[in-house]
Amino acid sequence: MIRVGVNGYGTIGRRVADAVRKQKDMELVGVTAAHPHYKYSVASGKGIPLYALDMKSLEAFNKEGYALRGTLNDLLQRVDVVVDGAPEDSGAANRAVYSQAGVKAVFQGGEEHELTGTSFVAQCNFEEASGKRSVRVVSCNTTGLCRTIHAVDRGPGVSRARAVLARRATDPDDVKRGPIDAVVLDPTTVPSHHGPDVQTVLRGMEIVTMAFKVPTTHMHLHSLILSLKAPATKEAVVSALQKAPRVTLVDGKAGFKSTANVMDWARERGRDRNDVYEATVWRDSVTVVDGEAYMFLGVHQEAIVVPENIDAIRALAGGYTREESMKATDESLGITHV
Ligand X SMILES: NC(=O)c1ccc[n+]([C@@H]2O[C@H](COP(=O)([O-])OP(=O)(O)OC[C@H]3O[C@@H](n4cnc5c(N)ncnc54)[C@H](OP(=O)(O)O)[C@@H]3O)[C@@H](O)[C@H]2O)c1
Which listed residue (140, 163, 250, 263) is catalytic? 140
Phi, psi of 41 (to 5 degrees): -65, -40
What are 163's strand-pairing partners? 209, 224
Residues at the site binding ligand X, with contacts judged by CB under 6 A: 7-13, 32-35, 37, 53, 85-88, 90, 108-111, 139-140, 171, 301-302, 305
Supply angle C-alpha 73, 79, 82, rounded to 5. 80
Give dist(CA 130, CA 146) in Å, integer: 19
Residue 87 or 187 with smaller CB distance to ligand X:
87
Query: Which residue from 202, 281, 195 is spatially nearest to 238, judged by alpha carbons?
Result: 281
Nearer to ligand X (CB atom), residue 38 or residue 180 = 38
Q: At what angle do helices 122-129 and 306-317 cross, to 10 degrees?
A: 30
Q: Considering the complex, what minimum distance in angstroms separates the CB of residue 73 from ligand X?
A: 12
Closer by beta carbon to ligand X, 78 or else 234: 78
DSSP state of 163: E
**Active-site annotation holds for 140:** yes
Chain position whose Cβ is nearest to ligand X: 10
Q: Are 129 and 135 in contact (CB under 8 A)?
A: yes
CA end-to-end span of the chain, whole Å?
30
* Residues involved in catalysis: 140
